[in-house]
Chain A
Amino acid sequence: AQTVTQSQPEMSVQEAETVTLSCTYDTSESDYYLFWYKQPPSRQMILVIRQEAYKQQNATENRFSVNFQKAAKSFSLKISDSQLGDAAMYFCAYRYQGAQKLVFGQGTRLTINP
């Protein structure tokens, strides 16, 4: 069974600084997708960034980028120039090519200090 692990229950960072959230996963599949979702107090899950496993290039979306290490099964999220609006729970998620359901990690609560 596929599992996703986020080992940092909480992280905090000063506004305008950079923070990295960690995620590891376990799978025997070769074709899959990895995601980072943001969940603010409103509870709405918002897709931040997506990475296809067959792509060697790390995905980037504005201030958000990932470090995808397929051999190590590691998928970290880097947030540059942190803003107060980035404060939320962040979930790492996995989906393999042949399915649509997402498997989520336990989440990391990110606090931004002004």
Chain B
Amino acid sequence: EAGVAQSPRYKIIEKRQSVAFWCNPISGHATLYWYQQILGQGPKLLIQFQNNGVVDDSQLPKDRFSAERLKGVDSTLKIQPAKLEDSAVYLCASSSYEQYFGPGTRLTVT
């Protein structure tokens, strides 16, 4: 069974630029999550999708972050414009019961 795929693995951008991350969940998993993990901290949920609908986006900074899950499969997370404090690892996970995580994207904002 293929795991959760994410790309890119690394991204370096300057502040005020935009960036997008892509996630492909495990086949058949209806629920998809994006977590932000700042260095030295545990992951924090940004947004949760059930199929292509948003279940929880209470901690998503909506003035600069956006996410979509078209057709209830792949998802993209976008940051525009990026700030220095957005430097973190962005983890995607999917679940049918237990959550399975992708390898994450390490974002560095300079």
Contacts and interface: CB of A to CB of B under 8 A. Distances in A.
Interface of A: 4, 42-47, 50, 91, 93, 100-107
A101 B95 CA distance: 10
A106 B56 contact: no
Contacts of A107: 40-42
Contacts, number: 47
**Residue of A45, A47, A50, A107 with most chain B CB atoms under a 10 A cut-off:** A45
Interface stretch (B13-21, B64-72, B75-83, B100-108): B100-108
A91 B42 contact: yes
Interface size class of B (residues with CB under 8 A): 20 to 34
B42 A106 contact: yes
Contacts of A46: 101
Interface string B82-101: 00000001010101001111
Contacts of B106: 43
